[in-house]
Amino acid sequence: MSNNRNNNRQEDLILFGVLLLPTVWFALILAPCLGGSLVDVFSRLTERIQTPWLIDG
């Protein structure tokens, strides 16, 4: 029983790490694009997505 609980905890931590990194990355890409209308946000986001590894303001 204890071994199963440890495996579940380890799986949960791995899943959390795998989902956390892309979420933080997308938030860093999206944050400078916010403001204005929804069309403006999508327009700026498509420009920012062209260089996905450039994280700057």
10-residue stretch averages of pLDDT, the chain, 57 residues long: 76 90 89 88 88 74
Q: What is the pLDDT of residue 1?
A: 53
Residue 15 covered by a domain: no
What is the spatial distance between Cα 34 and Cα 16, in angstroms, rounded to a whole number? 26
Specify the pLDDT at position 19.
Answer: 92
Judge whether 36 lies within some domain.
yes
- CA 47 to CA 27: how far, in whole Å? 15
Count of domains for the chain: 1
Q: Which residues contact 55 (CB under 8 A, 6 or more apart)?
A: 25, 28, 29
Range of the domain at 47: 24-57
57 in a structural domain: yes
Quick check: is 34 in a domain?
A: yes
With respect to residue 1, please indicate whether it lies within any of the assigned structural domains.
Answer: no
- pTM of this structure: 0.64
Residue 54 domain flag: yes
